[in-house]
Each structure stands twice: as structure tokens, then as C-alpha cells.
């Protein structure tokens, strides 16, 4: 299956490039032996290598061949145009756009391109305990999880309405533009760009947990203000946290390391629920964002008291007590929206969730293909696709290029192709926002579902400690929240929870 990728005009394909560590010689680490003696896609591997200090040559050759093949498979850009309806509203993470005028298209393009896009990379420092120097072919769910976390961090660190200062041009998009607004344009044109124009945005109050050097003045279509440069520096620092080197707090190296406690390793496939817990551990481990926490729902239930205790360690039963150290929170809810395929009854519910301003996206995909869902138009989902292999970027450099971290080619797919296993993300800045989130999300869940049960619920009180430590992906008892008993009658057939596979 061919993946969707940006046009050749945006990036140059890099297929058939041999993997190595030449770009990061200072980060080379001697590989250590994997405890189970294998790597790769987690299937058909050999047993342990007693006394071996590192994977044997056969394993190295397997990894090298798989790397070359995946670079060919995902390295060539494939041109395909996405059509948008000018008469139907387009929803992007809580904001609606009606693409019938150039100013609306420009507003959408600024918001879309400003999202952080994280894809397969090659030639990064070797993952410890393996021979992998790329996640191409197996790390798509990790990349989708990174994009979900990045969106939460954008909401956390930058003011509402912030947009990236780079190029906002859209490519490979067909949008009908109204003649009444621009007589020189005909309707039904291929729309690549509109000049970005923004008024200066207010800077975020207070200091931040990041320390980066400001980038030099670049050639822009609008003048840069001091506030713009400060926000640009914040954005650059945020992107660097997802860099592909061992010390990046949310990079592939750290996420793979954290996944080991759940029985995962480099080359394995990761599901949306496992990735939710990995992200939680990554945020808890780092000191970069001390004012942010991640809560992962248990059994499709968000326990409000657990969230409050996570965000306010000084919480007491006396509701009159309010702490001044309340942490912002990202709430991740792993769910299953049907049996073997998406239950159509949940489509309207998913739409309502994506309409909420507190929603930061959904990680899931279509069968055999992980994606990051960020919106919809009519009966099609809007997404960012991690299945495009790019060369590693050295984010330790002061002015590393940002272009490859922003996508200019929006893509859509039918709701009917959506895999039922996914994780939904929400963000609340403070306690008031959390209380509003509970009301808004509960309303979205109850107002649209034709099924007897909502896809998840908010309840008072605490839940049990359910962290999936040291075990593989687990399918909780979703019967009371996800779908009726009839849809669970599949005999002894293995659950398809998180059954994405890499291509």
C-alpha cells in the first residue's frame, strides 16, 4: 500500500540511502544485546544469542535490507491532489473553516501548516540494543503519538491562535475559490498559496521551561516583531524535543526505551494504547515541562479525582481548598469504536469530539496504516501521515531547518476506512478548563451516539492503578462503554485491539 506523502516540490526523495551514523559521530553508542536476542518487526526472529555482545551479522543484514526496502517504499513522494468542498465547513481541531473565499483558505492553510509533522527518519544514531538507525516501516504509531503530544505542547506553551512564521503555501490541493472575492481567479483552481498576513500575537505570559538561542532574522513576507521571534524560538525548542537523538525527551530513542517496560523494543509494532502510556511516562520523566502532566484513562473511564490529584498534589477533600500549583493536563483516552471495523454509529460522535476546542487530535489510522487525525469535512477525516521517510535533522544545531517538520499537503480519507482502535487526546490548561472539558466532552459523547453506550465516560472518584507496566498491549473490558454484547461474540478469535501492522 502506498502511503500519502507531500509533493516532490516540497522534499526530495531519499530512497536507497545506506543507514549510518556519520551525521552524529558524537552520539554513537556501542550496541548492547537485546534480552530476547532479536529485533526487527517482532516476527520470525531467532532465539537468544548466548554470550553475544551484540546482534549477529544475520540480524544486521536483515535490518539493513529492511531499511533499504522501506526507504524505497516510503522515500519517493507520490503526487495526489486533495479536493475540498467550498460549501461544507471544514473542521480542524475545534475550528471551522468555510473555504469559499481566499481569506478563509489562508486562515486554514496557516493553521494546518503550523501543526508539527513528525515522520519516519533515517540515518539517526543507532537505537540502543539494536542495529536500527531508522524507524522506517515500524515506527508509524510512535510518530503519530509524537504529533499528538506536540499538539498538546503547542497549546501549552504558545498563545491561542499562534501560527508558524514559515511558508504557509498548500500544495496538491483543489479548492474552489469564489469569484466575488477575487475576480482574477476562476473557480475550481488548484490552490497552492496565499501570502500569509498576521497581526502580531500576544506573547505568552511568564517565563518558560525552555532555553534556546534566537534564530537570526529570516526573509519573511511580513515584518517580524520581538514577540514573533520569541514565539519562534519557543516553537523551535519544542520541535527539538522530538529530535532523533538519544537525549531528546520525546524522541524515538526515549520512547523506544520507555516502551521496554511494556515488552516493546525497536522494530516492534506499537499500538495506540501502548503509545498513550509511553507518552505519559515520557512527560513524567522529563524536566522540560514541569507544569504539564498526562493522564491515561482506564477502561474507557476518566476518573475526575485521579486527574485532580495528578494536577494538584496538595488536593484535599475540602473542595474550598485551591492550590496555586495546578498543572495543565493532557488526557488520553484509548478506545475501540466497534468490532472488526468502525461502527458507523460512532462517526457523528467522533465529529463532535473533533469540533471541540479542547481536542488535540486522535491517533489511530486505517488498517495497516497509522495516522494522526486532526479534523474532517463531510464524511472524510483530515489527517497527517507519518509514512514518509526523511533524512535526520540535527536539532542540536542552533538554526536547524524547520521545513521538514511542517506538512503542506493536507490529506483526507473516508470515515468508513478508520480502524476502530484509537486514542483520543484532550488538553486543559487549568482546573476551570478541566471542568469545562468534562462538560463539553460529555455533551459531545451523549448527543450523537445511536448506540446504547458512549465511547467513554467521566465519573467522580478514583480508579485503580492500571499502568500496564511490564506487559504487552491489553484489551480492557470495554463492554460497558464501547459496544453491546453482540459485537463481542467473536469466539476465541484474537482481539484486534491495536492490530495495526507496518507495511
Where in the sequence numbering do the catalytic residues fall?
140, 385, 387
Burial class of residue 40, CB neighbours in 10 A (0-12, 13-18, 19+): buried
- Compute the distance between CA of residue 222 and CA of residue 106 in angstroms, rounded to an integer: 14
- Compute the distance between CA of residue 298 and CA of residue 278 in angstroms, rounded to an integer: 15
Which residues pair with residue 184 across a beta bridge?
Answer: none
Q: What is the DSSP string of 222-244?
A: SPPPHHHHHHHHHHHHHHHTT-S
Cα distances (Å, whole numbers) of residue 26 to 8, 130, 253, 321: 32, 18, 15, 50
Ramachandran sector of residue 172 (left: φ over 0; alpha: ψ -120 to 50; beta: rest): left
* 234 Cβ neighbours under 8 A, 6+ residues apart: 157, 158, 204, 208, 210, 212
* DSSP H or E segment with residue 112: helix 102-113
- Compute the distance between CA of residue 218 and CA of residue 403 in angstroms, rounded to an integer: 13
Cα distances (Å, whole numbers) of residue 435 to 157, 201, 460, 469: 21, 27, 12, 29
Residue 221 CA, distance from chain mean position: 29
HSE on the CB side for 95, CA within 13 Å? Answer: 14
* 51 Cβ neighbours under 8 A, 6+ residues apart: none
Task: Identify whether the C-beta of residue 77 lies closer than 8 Å to the C-beta of residue 407.
Answer: no
Of the candidates 477, 452, 473, the one whose C-alpha atom is nearest the C-alpha of residue 464 is 477
Q: At residue 72, what are phi and psi to the nearest 5 degrees?
A: -65, -45
Of the candidates 372, 143, 390, 402, the one whose C-alpha atom is nearest the C-alpha of residue 279 is 143
* 489 Cβ neighbours under 8 A, 6+ residues apart: none
- Name residue, grid cell 496504516: 369
Q: Strand ranges (DSSP E) for 218-358?
A: 292-296, 301-303, 328-336
Secondary structure class of 342 (helix, strand, coil): strand
Amino acid at each position: 500500500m502506498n502511503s500519502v506523502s507531500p509533493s516532490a516540490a516540497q522534499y526530495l526523495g531519499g530512497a536507497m540511502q545506506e543507514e549510518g551514523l556519520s551525521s552524529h559521530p558524537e552520539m554513537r553508542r556501542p550496541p548492547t544485546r537485546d534480552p530476547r536476542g532479536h529485533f526487527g518487526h517482532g516476527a520470525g526472529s531467532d532465539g537468544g544469542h548466548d554470550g553475544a555482545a551484540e546482534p549477529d551479522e544475520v540480524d544486521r543484514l536483515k535490518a539493513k535490507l529492511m531499511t533499504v526496502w522501506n526507504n524505497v517504499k516510503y522515500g519517493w513522494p507520490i503526487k495526489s491532489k486533495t479536493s475540498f468542498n467550498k460549501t461544507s465547513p471544514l473542521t480542524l481541531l475545534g475550528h471551522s473553516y468555510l473555504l469559499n473565499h481566499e481569506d478563509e483558505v489562508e486562515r486554514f492553510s496557516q493553521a494546518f501548516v503550523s501543526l508539527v509533522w513528525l515522520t519516519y527518519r533515517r540515518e539517526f544514531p543507532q537505537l540502543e540494543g539494536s542495529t536500527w538507525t531508522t524507524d522506517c516501516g515500524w515506527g508509524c504509531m510512535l510518530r503519530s503519538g509524537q504529533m499528538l503530544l506536540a499538539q498538546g505542547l503547542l497549546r501549552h506553551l504558545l498563545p491561542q491562535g499562534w501560527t508558524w512564521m514559515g511558508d504557509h503555501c498548500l500544495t496538491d490541493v483543489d479548492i474552489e475559490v469564489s469569484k466575488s472575492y477575487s475576480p482574477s481567479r476562476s473557480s475550481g483552481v488548484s490552490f497552492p498559496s496565499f501570502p500569509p498576513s498576521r497581526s502580531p500575537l500576544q506573547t505568552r505570559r511568564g517565563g518558560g521551561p525552555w532555553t534556546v538561542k534566537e534564530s537570526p532574522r529570516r526573509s519573511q513576507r511580513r515584518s517580524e516583531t520581538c514577540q514573533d521571534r520569541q514565539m519562534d524560538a519557543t516553537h523551535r525548542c519544542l520541535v527539538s524535543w522530538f529530535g532523533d537523538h538519544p537525549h531528546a525527551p520525546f524522541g524515538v530513542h526515549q520512547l523506544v526505551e520507555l516502551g521496554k517496560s511494556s515488552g516493546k523494543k525497536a522494530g516492534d509494532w506499537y499500538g495506540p494504547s501502548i503509545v498513550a502510556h509511553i507518552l505519559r511516562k515520557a512527560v513524567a520523566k522529563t524536566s522540560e515541562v514541569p507544569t504539564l502532566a498526562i493522564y491515561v484513562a482506564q477502561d474507557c473511564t476518566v476518573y475526575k479525582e485521579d486527574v485532580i490529584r495528578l494536577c494538584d498534589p496538595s488536593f484535599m477533600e475540602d473542595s474550598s481548598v485551591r492550590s496555586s500549583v495546578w498543572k495543565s493536563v493532557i488526557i488520553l483516552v484509548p478506545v475501540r469504536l466497534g468490532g472488526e471495523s468502525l461502527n458507523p454509529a460512532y462517526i457523528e460522535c467522533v465529529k463532535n469530539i473533533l469540533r471541540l476546542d479542547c481536542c488535540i487530535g486522535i491517533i489511530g489510522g486505517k488498517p495497516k496504516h497509522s495516522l494522526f487525525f486532526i479534523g474532517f469535512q463531510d464524511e472524510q477525516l483530515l489527517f497527517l501521515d507519518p509514512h514518509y521517510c526523511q533524512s535526520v535533522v540535527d536539532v542540536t544545531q542552533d538554526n536547524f531547518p524547520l521545513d521538514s517538520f511542517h506538512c503542506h499537503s493536507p490529506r483526507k480519507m473516508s470515515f468508513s476506512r478508520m480502524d476502530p482502535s484509537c486514542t483520543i487526546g484532550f488538553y486543559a490548561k487549568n482546573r476551570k478548563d478541566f471542568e469545562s472539558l468534562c462538560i463539553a466532552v460529555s455533551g459531545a459523547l451523549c448527543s450523537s451516539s445511536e448506540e446504547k453506550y458512549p465511547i467513554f465516560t467521566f465519573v467522580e472518584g478514583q480508579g485503580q492503578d492500571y499502568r500496564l507496566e511490564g506487559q504487552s498491549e491489553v484489551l480492557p473490558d470495554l463492554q460497558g462503554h464501547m459496544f453491546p454484547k453482540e459485537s463481542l461474540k467473536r469466539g476465541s478469535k484474537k482481539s484486534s485491539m491495536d492490530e495495526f501492522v507496518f507495511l
